[in-house]
Amino acid sequence: MALIGSRVPLVLMVAIFILPAFALTTEFIVGGEDGWTAGVDYAAWANGKKFFVGDVLVFNYAKGAHTVVKVNGTGFSACQTSPNSGVFTSGNDKITLLTPGNKWYICGVSNHCSYYNQKLKITVMPKMMMWAPAPAPEAGMEPEPAPTGSPCSY
């Protein structure tokens, strides 16, 4: 009995550490209430949001009116849908962020990207960061010692 009992804390610990890994994934409705459409500022929408591996982007739009094309940085800047690593057309496209790094999505319909700026760029952070101890906020907040030898002109 003592043998079995000694295993319980380990099981509990594992459960405590693994369950949040699933519970903490976030589903982002791209554009919020506006959804995925022409004329929305997606840079503003993404601003301040933290995207982690495992999170899900949801693109909502009237099927046929828009598409979601996963492109590279060049395609994003130039609104070019080719080459791409995925075209989504369902109107309720759920894209799980599988890897860290920059991700670019544009609408492939007509001039929605080039004229209406219907494009989204995000940076996905590794999931590890969620478990790492938060960096001490003081580290970056401390005012740097004033350079005594070289006065700053601005």
Q: Which is nearer to Cu ion, 53 or 106 (CB)?
A: 106
Rounded distance between C-alpha atoms, residue 23 and residue 20, angstroms: 5
Q: Which is nearer to Cu ion, 60 or 118 (CB)?
A: 118
Considering only residues 55, 112, 122, 124, which one is a binding residue for Cu ion as defined by CB under 5 A? 112
Instruction: Tell the smallest beta-carbon distance from residue 107 to Cu ion (Å).
Output: 3
Burial environment of residue 105 by CB neighbours within 10 A (0 to 12, 13 to 18, 19 or more): buried
CA angle, 92 as apex, 127 and 94 as ends, to 5°? 15
Considering only residues 40, 51, 66, 120, which one is a binding residue for Cu ion as defined by CB under 5 A? 66
Q: Contact positions toward Cu ion, by CB under 5 A?
A: 66, 107, 109, 112, 118
